[in-house]
A and B are shown apart, each in its own frame.
Chain A
Amino acid sequence: MVRMKRSTILVAGMLLAFAAGCGHPPGSVEKPGSAAAPGRGGTVVIGALSGINNWNPYLNETALGDDVLSLLYPTLAIEQVDYRAHPPSFTPNLASSWEFSPDHLTLTFHLRSSARWSDGTPVTSADVLFSYRTRISPEIGWESESLKKKIRSVDAPDAHTVRFHYTHRYPYQLMDANDGPIIPAHAWGSIPYAAWDRQDWRALALSAGPFELSSATPQQQFVLKRNPLYWKKGRPFLDRLIWRIVPDQGNLLTQLRTGEIDFMQGIPPRQAGQLRGDPHVRLIHFPDRSYGYIGWNTRRPLFRDPRVRRALTLALDRRTILDTVMRGYGRLAVGPVLSTMWAFDSRLVPYPYDPARARTLLAAAGWTDTDGDGILDRRGKRLAFELMTNAGNEIREDICQMAASQLARIGIKVSVRFIEWGTMLSRLEHGDFDAYISAWREGTQVDPAPLWHSAPPGAPTYNYVGYSNPEVDRLIDQLAATETAEAQKPLLDRFQEIVHRDQPYTFLYEGQRLDGINRRIRGAVINDATAYFNVDEWTVSSSRR
């Protein structure tokens, strides 16, 4: 199972839609209202592999939960998908407007006076303050808590105004304040945090969004129904959204094709061919802000030399891997910043597939086949290592196999190992590996620190490969002190150039997400942030088949 999971910044903060005309033919975007007159009513059934663990958005841990709970507990503003040109902009949601103070250290939100909870209580600044308290509460241990560390304090001059005070100016102030759903203070505020783990949040659910919770059966399905008190008049068009939990990918796809479900996310590229020519189902694909890579443990003598790492990249035919394993859905990855981001250094190009140059580089590093056994060696030691990935992820298993057979061609012996996800993560954290295949999903906030800043030995870090470059460390520290995105860009370019040269990872591909949607659904805008970006504008053209 791919677990490039939510990272709140990533998913909750990643509410970006797919702006039409920004270079990718998503095939998904059908202009809202393109149907003559949007029909009202109707039900859409959505298939999902697993359900929602908890109906409190601050206790839920699943990506699906983030998407669905954002329909009940919305954010103040909505992040847009214009991250190709500049850091994402925002449109009003629960907040109708906002402005910065002249020194840019205070951000004031004005709440929408027409917004109400589904029990009739207005949404007020008390809700925002309560939500903020919850986010930073150590007892809750919210995953994205650290995002708030640059926020000094939050206060509310009146019932419809909230002010965020910052320690310093930086490009993502609005994003950080907005990150995290707004929850009802009047209903939940009296429950002490210590007791949150024992509440039945399903029974306490309210909504300030387009839909409200109607019923839920664990491991089976849950139903959201139209929220009549939703502030946007006349929306949503649909009466009900039903999520069916189908724990098997193959079943899910079968049900999509038979019309039992109308929509599913994450179709494996291998299966996508089945949908070609299907009269009822449309296949949608778009970059999903993730990249796959092979990480080389730079602490191991074998991978300490950047020449060896570069040679490994050159020896891997990444285009063929992309074409076979991903069936061409994706593009070659270049470096640590996605090529769809404003921060991407467009001067960089992927290394070519060049086994001859790889051999030369390896020979320069001292690796030659002296004993004629077909495997390179140096001072009596063979060039052999273990490449691991998490068992059960077919894409990575296949890449593992292909990489091993490609590297064998230039005389590198790779033993392939598939291990259980938790065990693999534990080995990564302890630096107990040679090389591994995994993927990261990137947020819209460009922050290289967690992955690329060197860490003292033993400290918890996501820099699993132990990459350490003093100049990169300095650049990352400078980035943190830089006030605007424009000023950050040259620093980011230099950072990408160095990582590209050093190749602590072999960057494999930038992935795409493949979704299937029944053609009877009109007006859906599906994007890499959330499938339900404009769910309040979805309509259905006919009754269920």
Chain B
Amino acid sequence: MSLKAAPLRLTAGLGMIGLIILACGVGPWLLRPLPGMDPARAALLPPGSRVTVVQCRNGAVYMSPRVEKGARAIAVLGPGNRRIEIETAQIARVFPHRYWLGSDRFGRDLLRESLSGGRISLAVASLALAIALVIGGGIGLAAATSGTLVDTLLMRLVDAFLAFPILFLLILAVALFRPGPSTLVVVLGLTSWMGLARLVRGQVLSLRQRDFVQAARVAGSPWWRIWELHYAPNLVGPVAQDAALRLGDLVLAEATLSYLGLGIPPSTPTWGSLVAEGHKVLLQGWWLATFPGIAIAVLVIALALVGDGLQDLVRSAR
């Protein structure tokens, strides 16, 4: 039963991920960026709101729900609903803007923020995964192919890292060092490679006992040939499956840390920090926490589907 569903789940998951990447990658380019914003100029507008943006030559920006155009001046509603008149000669640009998903407290467009935030969330998780793959894969292979002594030492190292209370370590590291994307990538990468190391080592050791590998060795195939033909193809499946699920965990970890204020500062929005901002104003602006939260859930679910699909494929290949 699970076999038939496998390609379906895999395709669905991959399709969802593709859409998310496409939207996050292209979306921010397509949506017009709003000019440099002063907080509270257009704070917390509900989804669907329309405003008129008035950009002045001296750099000031006003976003006003209503604009009165006169002969020589334009009147807008400024901070605190004060009426402000701007001379036409002072104005650089006037254009309408629609907040499809509403705005945050800086008057930023939540749709655009969510898409560019997703870019950062995805990038952080993927780079951290890359670090984990390199370290985990490297140590796993080294342990499996070296002598007993090196193997034991490396596996004790894995144990030590596993014995670190990971969540504590994450919080500590980010609380103590400067928060930001690069810190987050390094910390997340350095704390999530142990499972991969164990997986790779286990796979290699078990493959070595298998008939086809033994046969190839006896036949005198060069080591790189055996790797290419037998080890690599049989490693890819389980590692990819593990990686997909791990990537989902990393997305959640990034979101959680940003939520706690330990990840990326709110000046650079990510899904996690957007949800955190949204929680503060849950009653006044439900949309702020809702949409990025759904985005996280959809991505993690897509990754889980891919992981499941891959697992089924691996299973059927056996």
Contact = CB atoms under 8 A, between A and B. Distances in A.
Interface in B145-204: 175-179
A325 interface: yes
Q: Label chain A's interface by main secondary structure.
A: helix
Interface string A394-410: 00011001100110110
A405 B38 CA distance: 7
A156 interface: no
Interface string A41-56: 0000000000000000
A323 interface: yes
A327 B105 CA distance: 14
Given A324-B80, A392-B261, A397-B267, A420 B39 contact: no
Nearest to A321: B38
Residue from A406, A418, A419 whose CB has the most chain B CB atoms within 10 Å: A418
Interface in B13-44: 36-41
Contacts of A254: 283
A320 B39 CA distance: 11
A405 B176 CA distance: 29
Given A250-B280, A392-B261, A420-B178, A323 B79 contact: yes
A401 B38 contact: yes
Nearest to B178: A419
Contacts of A391: 179, 261, 265
B26 to A, nearest CB: 27
A408 B36 CA distance: 10
A328 B267 contact: no
B80 A405 contact: no
B314 to A, nearest CB: 43
A105 interface: no
B38 A418 contact: no
Interface string B221-246: 00000000000000000000000000
A154 interface: no
A88 B60 CA distance: 45
B202 to A, nearest CB: 40
B176 to A, nearest CB: 8
A420 B175 contact: yes
Interface in B261-286: 261, 265-267, 279-284
B179 A420 contact: yes
B60 to A, nearest CB: 7
Nearest to B282: A250
A409 B59 contact: yes
23 contacts: A250-B279, A250-B281, A270-B40, A320-B79, A324-B40, A324-B80, A325-B39, A325-B40, A327-B80, A391-B265, A397-B267, A398-B39, A401-B38, A405-B36, A405-B59, A406-B59, A409-B58, A418-B265, A418-B266, A419-B178, A419-B179, A420-B175, A423-B178
Interface of A: 249-250, 254, 270, 274, 320, 323-325, 327-328, 355, 391-392, 397-398, 401-402, 405-406, 408-409, 416, 418-420, 423
Interface of B: 36-41, 58-60, 79-80, 105-106, 175-179, 261, 265-267, 279-284
